[in-house]
Amino acid sequence: MELDPTVRKELIRRISGTIKPSLLYKGRIKVAAWESMISISYMMKRLLDIAVSVAALIALLPVFVITAIAIPLEDPGPVFYVQTRVGKNGKHFKFYKFRSMVMNADKIKSQLAAQNESSAGVIFKMKKDPRITKTGRIIRKFSIDELPQLINVLKGDMSLVGPRPPLPKEVAEYTLEQRKRLHVIPGITCLWQVSGRSDIPFTDQVRLDLQYIQSSGIINDIRLLLKTIPAVLTGRGAY
């Protein structure tokens, strides 16, 4: 049903008259300023990601070489484990790690489903996972297996700091609240990674990730990176 032209004209006049042009102008300026701040923050975060990743790849080259030799010596096969993960806004990308498990690990996982130690389900965790090799336990303890993700950071799929990227099948089980983790670029380290890693229950991981998203910023990222160093050296919660 269409409004009478006279009534429609009067309605538009009244709506337009409720907001002063000066207020509309100030609102536009505030929005533009907010968008500029977000763009600058993102640019600074990206510059930090590139600078630290390049420096780390150069400094840790000997660790890469030793690890690349040790993995196939114990269990012949590829040095890297490539997996599909979910990034910002649900975008899938190829995720790189040093292989820390036996070659048929994915097939064995279905046989171990009943032994999942993650109380909330969704993710799979076992402190004494039989699929992990001896070399794998060492590189996992000190997060060496995660180093190839520096390549993901350089590619722009990941950031140094951000929620850990989940598997597609994990995302399929997410609630609407948990999907908020996908609103930002995933990272190598995050708030729960420096607070106990795998010892942190999944529900608390989500809570800490959302807490990070609400308070994210370049200073906060630098703090988390600095906290990551002692967390890696102690190896607490890594398995």
Q: Which residue in this structure is represented by tokens 């597609």?
A: 168
Tell me which residue of 162, 236, 150 sits closest to 199, measured CA to CA.
236
Q: For the chain, what is the radius of gyration of the CA atoms?
A: 23
Report the alpha-carbon angle 129-130-136, nearest 5. 80
Is the pTM for the entire model greater than 0.95?
no
CA atoms of 41 and 229, how far apart (whole Å): 24
Residue 208 to residue 205: CA distance in whole angstroms = 5
What is the per-residue pLDDT for 195? 83
The neighbour count for residue 227, using CB atoms within 10 Å, is 15
Residue 160 is predicted with a pLDDT of 96
Tally Cβ neighbours within 10 Å of residue 80.
14
Mean pLDDT, consecutive 10-residue stretches, the chain (239 aa), reads: 55 54 62 66 91 96 97 95 95 96 80 62 73 93 94 96 94 93 94 82 90 87 91 71
Kind and range of the H or E run holding 189:
strand 187-189
Confidence (pLDDT) at 1? 45
